[in-house]
Chain A
């Protein structure tokens, strides 16, 4: 669990908790807003690079 990218784990946890309480439309808007921020993270770029190089990613929470 701790090897996961901290920012996406954080977002996923909040989204999961929220999903139990809100309607689908609100949930999907929150997913989209979170994703648009995560797409600009260094960890996302590192994850893509690692996938392309077939190596384990090193995430730093930025």
Chain B
């Protein structure tokens, strides 16, 4: 086991009606390993039934939101059936955000990619700090976004915008030179119906 007894991989803190869940594996850019996945699933489950929780903010520790699945573990997943079985649990976690009948905000600071991006896309709102960067880096390792990373993107921003975001840039820094639709701010605008007051 990792040093989970010392530092939990998920920090939960409720202030008033707002439960803040902090993905806390900063040395791995908060990549979701099975332990963090299970902790987040439990926390969201508890949030659904806890009347004191009126809304949830998901964010990351140490200047990153979430680097998705743990690349170090990809070597274990070459068996197609094992991959589909393992990845299904992560897909379920992402879906549980949409089932939660309370507002869920993704507060994005730094990098969000892979399964972390699927997680953010499943939230009701996304708010980004100036350093928020959306990366679709699956293509760099010959893969595609999963856990709804593609499907949700298309449903949220439409086909043309989704292609732009996915292919026009590999990094999506919110600079004037970034193609339209490719900055975190732009995706935030495109996928958010109204401004949230959540702060990163």
Contact = CB atoms under 8 A, between A and B. Distances in A.
Size band of the interface chain A makes with B = 35 or more
B140 interface: yes
Size band of the interface chain B makes with A = 35 or more
Interface in A1-34: 1, 4-5, 7-9, 11-12, 15-17, 19-20, 22, 24, 27-28, 30-34
Nearest to B148: A28
Nearest to A61: B142
27 contacts: A1-B167, A5-B139, A8-B138, A12-B144, A12-B166, A15-B151, A16-B163, A17-B159, A19-B151, A19-B162, A28-B147, A28-B148, A32-B84, A32-B146, A34-B144, A35-B83, A35-B144, A35-B146, A36-B81, A37-B80, A38-B143, A38-B144, A39-B74, A39-B80, A47-B140, A50-B140, A59-B142
B29 to A, nearest CB: 14
